[in-house]
A and B are shown apart, each in its own frame.
Chain A
Amino acid sequence: DAEITQSPRHKITETGRQVTLACHQTWNHNNMFWYRQDLGHGLRLIHYSYGVQDTNKGEVSDGYSVSRSNTEDLPLTLESAASSQTSVYFCASSETAGGMETQYFGPGTRLLVL
């Protein structure tokens, strides 16, 4: 069965360190998204990609970067982790369908920055 996976599921790091969160999907979807979930804010879009070599900034992109070298993967990098980046991170993917298609979410990565 097709799926979307994230790793690690839990991560503790220190401020100033570089951290990379992995996202891998086997749906063969063109579109991939990274969100962060914080109490009182719902889900906010960090970065997204509509295909290989395409990346775009979302609502809260400062301090984060992504790259898309193949269809299956969209790793999220925190260049220099800050305590404000403590959050739960979700990756999602979807087919291109004029905005009418379902996004499929991974199980999330819980990140703690000390």
Chain B
Amino acid sequence: GDSVTQMEGPVTLSEEAFLTINCTYTATGYPSLFWYVQYPGEGLQLLLKATKADDKGSNKGFEATYRKETTSFHLEKGSVQVSDSAVYFCALTPEGGSEKLVFGKGTKLTVNP
């Protein structure tokens, strides 16, 4: 079945450091790919998405590129802030119109001042 694998956390960085969170997926065809973020005590919210190969999603300084050849959707940010501390989830919806999200297990990021 479809699945998403994220790098294990937790990840701890200093402010202004470069961030990469790896995400790879297993799915047939061309799924849609998402990054959701969960701030402490809150529900998830969409950070960015890409719906076809080679698309780049971006938001709030975060970027991720849909790489079909490596089945990856790695999240990057050039300079993290303390306010970016959260849990990040990579997810997909399968090709074919299913609205169901398949989530990775999440990566907790802590940014220290």
Contacts and interface: CB of A to CB of B under 8 A. Distances in A.
Interface in B67-104: 89, 93-101, 103-104
A105 B89 CA distance: 13
Contacts of B31: 99
Interface residues of B, number: 25
> Chain B's interface: helix, strand, loop or mixed, by majority?
loop
Interface string A97-114: 111111111111000000
Interface string A60-96: 0000000000000000000000000000001010101
20 contacts: A42-B103, A42-B106, A43-B44, A43-B101, A43-B103, A98-B97, A99-B93, A99-B95, A99-B97, A99-B98, A99-B99, A100-B49, A102-B34, A102-B46, A103-B46, A103-B101, A104-B45, A105-B44, A106-B43, A107-B43
